[in-house]
């Protein structure tokens, strides 16, 4: 039996997040100086990340790497009580605008305060719910890519170990498979 090299999925996930953030930030910040459009910056970022993904897969397949699961279930990482806490957010205390004097001013001020409090509470609730949904979907997507999808890719590592052509072919196929949808979204966005 051959000696297998295991890649830690937690380390891969953390390093990949750092690479993604640094790549996107550097492309966007350097692109601002050259007056690139948002579409051009997105294409460049995606191309760089796809190239890095291709190299990672090709090297991993050539080396015969396997992915070791030490992330666990993604749903175990969240404290669902914190998400439920967002539903009970109330608007912060603030000074009411001056609405006038007398009993009419007091009544109008209370009504205005209730309306503003309701609107702010509703907006905070909507924003919090949308933000958490986006964060959870993004983390779920990254989890699937960095563990489930890569585990499927590295199942081919025993067939590709030491075979450069086969490793590059599989790496190219999986890179196209896993990144073409991002290019498709950018293409559709550029047409509108």
The tens digit of pLDDT for each residue in 136-147 reads 777 777 677 666
pLDDT for residue 39? 80
Tokens of 183: 């290019």
Average pLDDT over residues 102-124: 82
Q: What's the whole-number mean pLDDT along residues 156-174?
A: 90
The closest alpha carbon to 90, from 43, 59, 128, 140, belongs to 128
* Residue 172: per-residue pLDDT: 94
Q: What residue has token string 């009580």?
A: 81
Asked whether the beta carbons of 62 and 166 are under 8 A apart, the reply is no
How much is the mean pLDDT over the chain? 75
% pLDDT > 90, the chain: 7
Residue identified by tokens 């390093």 is 15
Cα separation of 157 and 139, whole Å? 26
- Label residue 84 by pLDDT band (50, 70, 90): low
């Amino acid at each position: 039996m051959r000696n297998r090299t295991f890649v830690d999925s937690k380390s891969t996930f953390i390093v990949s997040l750092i690479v993604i953030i640094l790549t996107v930030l550097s492309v966007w910040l350097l692109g601002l100086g050259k007056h690139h459009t948002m579409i051009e910056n997105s294409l460049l970022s995606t191309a760089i990340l796809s190239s890095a993904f291709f190299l990672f897969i090709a090297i991993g397949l050539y080396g015969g790497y396997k992915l070791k699961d030490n992330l666990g279930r993604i749903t175990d990482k969240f404290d669902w009580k914190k998400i439920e806490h967002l539903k009970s957010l109330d608007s912060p205390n603030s000074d009411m605008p001056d609405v006038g004097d007398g009993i009419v001013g007091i009544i109008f001020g209370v009504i205005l305060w209730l309306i503003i409090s309701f609107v702010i509470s509703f907006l905070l609730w909507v924003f919090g719910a949308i933000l958490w949904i986006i964060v959870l979907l993004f983390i779920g997507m990254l989890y699937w890519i960095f563990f489930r999808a890569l585990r499927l890719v590295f199942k081919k590592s025993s067939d590709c170990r030491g075979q450069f052509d086969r490793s590059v072919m599989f790496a190219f196929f999986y890179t196209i498979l896993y990144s073409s949808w991002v290019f498709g979204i950018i293409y559709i966005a550029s047409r509108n």
